[in-house]
Amino acid sequence: MNNICFKKTGLFFVLLLFVFSLSFAQKKQDGDTVERYIKKRMQELHIPGMAIAVLQKGKLIKEGYYGFSNLEYNLPVSSKTVFEIASMSKQFTCAGILLLQQEKKLSVNDKLSKYLDTLPVSWKNITLYQLMSHTSGLRDDWEESNDYFLSNNTNKKMFAAQKNYPLRYVPGEGFTYGNGPFELGLVIEKVSGKSYAQFMKERIFDPLGMGSTSIYDNRKIIPYRAAGYVWDDSVQTNGNDISPAAEARGDVGVIITLRDLIKWDLALRDDRLLNAESREAMFTPAVLNDGTYVSYGFGWFIYPMFGVINYDHSGGFRTGFNSDILRIAGKDLDIIILCNQWHAQASFTSFTIAALVDPSIYLNAAKKPVPDPDTARTHQLIKIMQRLANKEWNYEQFYRHYNFCGADPNDLEGILKDFKGLEYIDSLDLRAHPINLYGKKLTKAVSYKLIGGGPFCFAFYYTSEGKLAAINFEP
């Protein structure tokens, strides 16, 4: 985003391709459509290799492998191919913390200072909960260049460097997607007395039969390990080099096959790993100090889309990988995608595949504007978006007014740079099946296309009282 909320994804270029792809993808709803769409998508975005899985009602209905895991040796992607999943690793680390909480070895409400020494004074009130939900105020060191991760080549050095950054805000006073699970990996080591990699293997990977999953280790021989790539200035290049320690952190370190990721997805449906209380915590939006909800739980973005609740997380890594896991709860549909191309835009591909599999899932980008039934409402929404375009609100302040999910602040600034208004597309009446989210009951979704700045769509969610409660970037 690395992640949906789409984090640092190069959104403009991709959305143009995405909209053009929709017309192709929606022409024909037969058994070959997904296959043809994936191959077209790979060609458009120069994706060397891809693995996808589609699960409906907990049953695997599609599993596919495409292209090459290594271009130098022309090795095909297969069920054995091991991919880096970058930020998707965060949900595994959060699960490790929840396991320790189940054993009463810690509490997510504990302060970080209980486990790690020599913290800055400003960090004294940071809790594990806030690290898990990106509400701690920590700056994300993944904003740094590759040189930073080459010179800070141990956990100790990276942690020391992070402590020099000022907090973005008082812990619990805002949401900024970042690197909190790196510190959580250090907490796991402190509490368990084992290395992060050993703990994850013994407590999560092995119990779930995920025999091809591990934490990144450049020294280990990993059969069928995929090479990572970056499409750079019309040339396919190898992924960027960073220190092995950075690739192995608790926020990015998991490497995995598609079949093992399917096992993980299914394990989150029952008690085989996490009990019901822990799973509920994982998939519940976090709460700020003042009671404001954010669109993130423990390792999952949580937002309304397609008229239902979606749980999602992608991972984009400068080492040359991109992944996504999308759970459309109201449709009981899960999409998993693994790619060995940094800017593969796996999250967008997930949405389209979902729409191809389930005709009840709509894609706003494929619709044309229609006459506006409520120009007063539209005028009000234009004023809200104009305030954001004019930078009258920063990202954290925007959360205070409307629960927002859907774009990284840098992407959002670019999207709204040439903002000129909104064109009405459609509305969705949710009164029969309201969305209970962010402490509210959402009963209506109104969709618009952006005028100026590219083919982007936003959905605005209202309560039964007519109060605007959530805004989401929607494909």
What's the pLDDT tens digit per position in 122-170? 999 999 999 999 999 999 999 999 999 999 999 999 999 999 999 999 9
Q: Given a cut of 60, is residue 2 above it in pLDDT?
A: no
143-to-148, 156, 166, 169 alpha-carbon distances in Å:
10, 19, 14, 17
Nearest alpha-carbon partner for 160 in 213, 120, 127: 120
Q: Given a cut of 80, is residue 9 above it in pLDDT?
A: no
| Confidence at residue 455, expressed as pLDDT on a 0 to 100 scale | 77
Between residues 273 and 454, which one has the greater pLDDT? Answer: 273
**CA atoms of 438 and 284, how far apart (whole Å):** 9
Cα 237 to the chain's mean position, in Å? Answer: 25
- On whether the CB atoms of residues 284 and 299 are closer than 8 A, the answer is no
Phi, psi of 450 (to 5 degrees): -75, 135
User: 58-61 — which CB contacts under 8 Å span 24+ positions?
Assistant: 58/266, 58/269, 58/332, 60/262, 61/357
**CA atoms of 8 and 20, how far apart (whole Å):** 21
Q: Given a cut of 50, is residue 16 above it in pLDDT?
A: no
Residues constituting the chain: 475
Buried b (16+ CB within 10 A) or exposed e, 239-270: bbebbebbbbbbbbbbbbbbbbbbbbbbbbee
| Confidence at residue 32, expressed as pLDDT on a 0 to 100 scale | 81
β-pairing, 308-317 vs 435-437, is: unpaired
Highest mean pLDDT among 244-248, 293-297, 468-472: 244-248
Q: Is residue 277 exposed (0-12), middle (13-18) or buried (19+ Cβ within 10 Å)?
A: exposed
Question: Rounded mean pLDDT of the chain?
Answer: 90
For 297, the 3-state DSSP assignment is: coil
Half-sphere exposure in the Cβ direction for 267 (13 Å, CA): 20
Q: Given a cut of 70, is residue 213 above it in pLDDT?
A: yes
- On whether the CB atoms of residues 131 and 184 are closer than 8 A, the answer is yes
- On whether the CB atoms of residues 249 and 84 are closer than 8 A, the answer is no
**CA atoms of 460 and 475, how far apart (whole Å):** 13
**CA atoms of 228 and 316, how far apart (whole Å):** 11
Q: Is residue 388 exposed (0-12), middle (13-18) or buried (19+ Cβ within 10 Å)?
A: buried
**CA atoms of 464 and 442, how far apart (whole Å):** 7
**CA atoms of 319 and 228, how far apart (whole Å):** 6
Nearest alpha-carbon partner for 396 in 288, 313, 282, 245: 288
**Helices (DSSP H) in 175-309: which residue ranges?**
180-192, 196-200, 244-247, 258-267, 276-282
Nearest alpha-carbon partner for 342 in 318, 325, 326: 318
- On whether the CB atoms of residues 62 and 53 are closer than 8 A, the answer is yes
Q: Which DSSP string do the residues of 257-275 spell out, in sequence order? A: -HHHHHHHHHHTTSTTSS-
| Confidence at residue 363, expressed as pLDDT on a 0 to 100 scale | 84
What's the pLDDT tens digit per position in 94-129? 999 999 999 999 999 999 999 999 999 999 999 999
| Confidence at residue 392, expressed as pLDDT on a 0 to 100 scale | 82
- On whether the CB atoms of residues 77 and 234 are closer than 8 A, the answer is no
| Confidence at residue 178, expressed as pLDDT on a 0 to 100 scale | 87
**If phi over 0 gives left and psi between -120 and 50 gives alpha, with beta otherwise, what is residue 56?**
beta
Mean of pLDDT values over 421-426: 96
Read off the DSSP letter of residue 169: S
**CA atoms of 33 and 10, how far apart (whole Å):** 26
Q: Which amino acid is at 373?
A: P
